[in-house]
Amino acid sequence: MATKNSDQRVGVYFIDKDEARVCLWAPFAKKVGLKIDNGKSIALNKQSRGYWTANTHNLKPGDCYKFALDDDRELADPAALAQPQGVHGPSQFVDLAAFKWDDHAWSNPAMHEYIFYELHTGTFTPEGTFDAMERKLDYLLALGITAIEIMPVSQFPGDRNWGYDGVFPFAVQNSYGGAEALQHLVNACHNKGLAVVLDVVYNHVGPEGNYLGEFGPYFTDKYKTPWGSAINFDDARCDAVREFFIQNVLMWFRDFHIDALRLDAVHAIKDFSPKHILQEIRERVDDLSESTGKLHHLVVECDLNDPRFINPLSEEGFGMDAQWVDEFHHALRVSGGQKREGYYTDFNGIADLAKSYADAYVYDGQYAEQRFKKFGARAINNPGRQFVVFSQNHDQVGNRMLGKRTSKLVSFEMQKLMAAAVVVSPYLPMLFMGEEFSQPNPFLYFVSHGEPGLIEAVRKGRREEFKDFHTAGEAPDPQSEQTFESSKINWDLLQREPHTTMLAYYKNLLNLRKKQPALKTPDRSNVKATADIENNTLILQRQSDGQEIICLMNFSNEEKQVVFPGIVHEWNKIMDSADVKWSGPGVSSNGMISPESVIIYCRSHV
């Protein structure tokens, strides 16, 4: 009997010891077969609503295969688990259930315990593999990280890509090590006490090697995205497409033990169904959790400042657990001296940073000049654990023409201040790989496409992207291998100053975040942020669990007087970024605060 269409698992997988199930959605095909590289062919049986299925004993792990549609097209499996010869080659049968997990004692932390570390597999280590990443886990633990966030790993063209050009959502990139290596990495993370977040893309599919449209209406012309055709989540025959991506979500949680997914740019997911695809994903993930007893989180990137995305299903929300807050980043960057150009034009620095500390969104109904409209809505009842903040990430570094990190844009002192501004926030902090030791290497945009026309289109697109930033010079060639190689982390710098000191500083910051009750709890209800626009200083006050914290931040390049709220001697100073032990200029006295620095005080309630 065929599986219900409402819960149709696609692809090739074992249903018994040596019996495989084959399921393909191809609603317009008249005939479908599966051709194995050993010369055998299997005819699939037509089911309702465009599905084709077969059970077979002729497939074993490692076999390569393609689907034959109507005897005139041979194509890789849309739900392939491996593409060992790249996006244009045959698919390979992988038994995900064969991996021997020993992470049974692992329990996914609650969202408020997450301290994220975003990384790109190909540039995080010299080798650019999951195996090499595994050897850095002790380093991340010592830093204070609780969750690694891996940029997309679904199979993309060639072996150099950010990952957002993936075309096989279920297949793990072969040059990174494939499915088993990812399972091994996740297992190792769990045994060391690290959660794993995986970045996934459900708003578009990359251009090269994208054969989904050959099988059925995976895309719709009703909408457009900046990156290609919109995925068909609400047009004719969308049910199977929705199920395809829901099954992808469930696979990462079920078969790879991933703890959380970060869904890329959900504002570009177009769906006017009565039940939005994100709501349905939430429901199905909750069903999975109920059956397994395991907790799974869903985090989104969203450019709409719309709390419906993170409101619970019970309140007619989409049920996402948390979202990235780019506006905190923008306000922080302008506070630290970033030019107000491009998408930074709408941000006024210190005043907006204070607003983001209190309200998360800077724009929650005001008129935005760059958007030419009123923008956003207030996030009134959303706790701090629903917002992820950062001073840099892959987009904010890589989408600069020269891929400059903060370490190349601001002073050593300002780097420390910006790091603290993130860590002391009432939100979930995220670091971008290498920032913790002031990594100077750029993180550039890179690809390894095989189609000349596409390569030139990408080059042209990069040039066009920077026109609002008035940047002189030419963007590095995304196709060049040197662009990729220059983006790799230089780990040798850990043994040199000022990188050694910066690493120690970050460790201290994250330790404060974990140990101080008022910092540990991402509670927005007891936050007060006061900006002094004239002096470019900010006072952040937080309290929780019987403790109060005050953070004095000076974003100016001059020593400033900060009016301390309360009696100074009642407070205990627990950190000063200007201290010489952090290679600072030395702490100020007489109520003054050093340029580009932060001082943190605490006291307990009597």
| Domains by residue range for the chain, with CATH | 5-98 (2.60.40.10), 114-393 (3.20.20.80), 525-604 (2.60.40.1180)
d(CA 328, CA 347): 10
Nearest to 80 by CA among 64, 68, 59: 64
Q: Quote the tokens at residue 269.
A: 């997911």
**β strands within 413-518, DSSP E:** 428-432
Residue 396 is labelled as binding a ligand: yes
Q: Quote the tokens at residue 563.
A: 């009016």
Q: How many CB atoms lie within 10 A of CB 62?
A: 12
* Residue 5 pLDDT level (bands cut at 50, 70, 90): very low
* Residue 472 pLDDT level (bands cut at 50, 70, 90): low
Q: What pLDDT does residue 65 have?
A: 97
Please name every residue paired with 470 in a beta bridge, in sequence order, or none if there are none: none
Average pLDDT rounded to a whole number, residues 542-547? 92
H/E element, 359: helix 350-359
Mean pLDDT of all residues in the chain? 94
Task: Find out whether 375 and 330 touch, Cβ atoms under 8 Å.
Answer: no
Which residues form the catalytic set? 264, 301
d(CA 5, CA 8): 5
Q: What pLDDT does residue 588 have?
A: 84
How far from chain centre, in Å, is Cα 436?
Answer: 18
- What are 261-282's pLDDT values in tens digits? 999 999 999 999 999 999 999 9
CA distances from 252 to 30, 256, 504 (A): 32, 5, 34
User: How many Cα atoms occupy the beta-carbon half-sphere of 260 within 13 Å?
Assistant: 31
> Is the CA virtual torsion 255, 257, 260, 265 positive or negative?
negative
Task: Find out whether 51 and 23 touch, Cβ atoms under 8 Å.
Answer: yes
Residue 95 is labelled as binding a ligand: no
Apex 433 CA angle, 430 and 435, nearest 5: 80
Q: What pLDDT does residue 355 have?
A: 98
Residue 267 is labelled as binding a ligand: yes
Residue 262 is labelled as binding a ligand: yes
Residue 463 has pLDDT above 80, yes or no: no
Residue 469 has pLDDT above 60, yes or no: no
- What are 59-77's pLDDT values in tens digits? 999 999 999 999 889 999 9
Residue 327 is labelled as binding a ligand: yes
CA distances from 575 to 39, 100, 473 (A): 69, 45, 41
Residue 263 is labelled as binding a ligand: yes
Average pLDDT rounded to a whole number, residues 467-478? 72
Q: What pLDDT does residue 3 have?
A: 39
Q: What pLDDT does residue 471 have?
A: 60
Residue 47 has pLDDT above 50, yes or no: yes
Average pLDDT rounded to a whole number, residues 431-438? 98
Q: Which residue has the tokens 């001082």?
A: 599
* Residue 461 pLDDT level (bands cut at 50, 70, 90): confident
Task: Find out whether 301 and 395 touch, Cβ atoms under 8 Å.
Answer: no
Residue 62 is labelled as binding a ligand: no
* Residue 342 pLDDT level (bands cut at 50, 70, 90): confident
Q: How many CB atoms lie within 10 A of CB 523?
A: 17
3-state secondary structure string across 92-146: ECCCHHHCCCCCCCCCCCCHHHCCEEEECHHHHCCCCCHHHHHCCHHHHHHHCCC
Q: What pLDDT does residue 460 have?
A: 85
Residue 264 is labelled as binding a ligand: yes
Q: What pLDDT does residue 577 have?
A: 98
- What are 127-186's pLDDT values in tens digits? 999 999 999 999 999 999 999 999 999 999 999 999 999 999 999 999 999 999 999 999
Q: What pLDDT does residue 148 have?
A: 98
Residue 388 is labelled as binding a ligand: no
Q: What pLDDT does residue 7 have?
A: 66
Q: What pLDDT does residue 129 have?
A: 98
Residue 504 has pLDDT above 70, yes or no: yes
Residue 397 is labelled as binding a ligand: yes
- What are 552-606's pLDDT values in tens digits? 999 999 999 988 777 777 899 999 999 999 999 999 887 899 999 999 999 987 4
Task: Find out whether 139 and 186 touch, Cβ atoms under 8 Å.
Answer: no
85 dihedral zone (left: phi>0; alpha: psi -120 to 50; beta): alpha
What is the model's pTM? 0.96
Residue 329 is labelled as binding a ligand: yes
Q: What pLDDT does residue 154 have?
A: 98
d(CA 487, CA 477): 13
Q: Where do runs of H (alpha helix) occur along 193-270? A: 212-215, 238-256
High-pLDDT (> 70) share of the chain, %: 97
Strand, coil or helix: 249:
helix
Q: What pLDDT does residue 467 have?
A: 65
Q: Which residues contact 274 (CB under 8 A, 6 or more apart)?
A: none
Q: What pLDDT does residue 466 have?
A: 67
Q: Quote the tokens at residue 181.
A: 């290596």
How far from chain centre, in Å, is Cα 164?
Answer: 11
* Residue 4 pLDDT level (bands cut at 50, 70, 90): very low
Please name every residue paired with 539 in a beta bridge, in sequence order, or none if there are none: 530, 552
Q: What pLDDT does residue 2 have?
A: 36
